[in-house]
Amino acid sequence: MAAMIPGRVLRSLQRRMATLVGRAVLLAVNAGTGLQSVQVRILADEVMDGVEHMEPYGFTSNPLPGAEGVVLNVAGQRGACVGVNFGNRGVRVAGLKSGEVCIYTDEGDKITLKRDRHIEIETLHLVIRAQEDVRVETKSYAVRASQGVSYETPSFGLGGSGGCTADIAADMAITGNTTQQGTITASGDVTAEGISTAHHTHPGDSGGTTGGPQ
């Protein structure tokens, strides 16, 4: 006959099983360590400090207080508690289609990987820092700026193996030397050092001035 398990042992096992997995509400985050730790409230009013926040490789976040998540008591030990998957339901991006992915913040910034291989970035300020170079390879490239476009660079080039045609429908100002190889065609007047090429005159051979250019 199998030996009977004492009641106190069964009760201890039951308590451990009941607390293996639980829901938690985030209270505070310590993001300054290699593996950040969180303070959470579990059950009705129990607060746990120093809970290790397990995150996937290559991704980290500092959830807002009030985020909901899951705590795991490894081997049923409360001292080995870890937290996973904390999120704030009030700011989560809703309505994604099946298969879509979104990284977001409570301020409204979003990077959404949409269906049909579309990626959308929404923010107020976007800065790209590349120490060596940035390269864009595509069939067409368009910029729509309602206030203006500026470049701060010591050199600027347009062209390619198949030649290049640049259509600029805007006022343009250039500071610095410009070298042109090829023909310049202008439908309007061209002014150099304050002298009009379309309306300038020359001194006449016998005094006076000549008429404008023909």
Query: How far is residue 73's CA from residue 42's CA, in Å, rounded to a whole number?
Result: 12
CATH architecture of 14-87: Beta Barrel (2.40)
Among candidates 16, 66, 24, 72, which has minimal Cα distance to 45? 24
Q: Is the dihedral of CA 93, 97, 98, 99 positive or negative?
A: negative
Find which of 127-141, 148-162, 190-204 is predicted with most confidence, using mean pLDDT.
Answer: 127-141
Bridge partners (DSSP) of residue 48 are 40
Do 213 and 198 meet the contact criterion of CB atoms below 8 Å apart?
yes
Identity (one letter) of the amino acid at 34?
G
List pLDDT tens digits, range 80-113: 789 999 999 999 999 999 999 999 999 999 999 9
Q: Of 108-112, 117-121, 202-206, which range is least confident?
A: 202-206
Give the pLDDT of residue 136: 94
Mean pLDDT of the chain: 84
List pLDDT tens digits, range 18-32: 567 889 999 999 999
Residues 6+ apart with CB under 8 A from 7: none
The reply to whether the predicted model has a pTM over 0.85 is no
Map out the domains of the chain as residue ranges.
14-87
Tally Cβ neighbours within 10 Å of residue 41.
Answer: 14
**Which 3 state secondary structure label does DSSP give 193?**
coil
Query: How far is residue 145's CA from residue 151's CA, in Å, rounded to a whole number?
Result: 13
The DSSP line for 93-130 is PP-PPTT-EEEE-TTS-EEEEEGGGEEEEE-S------
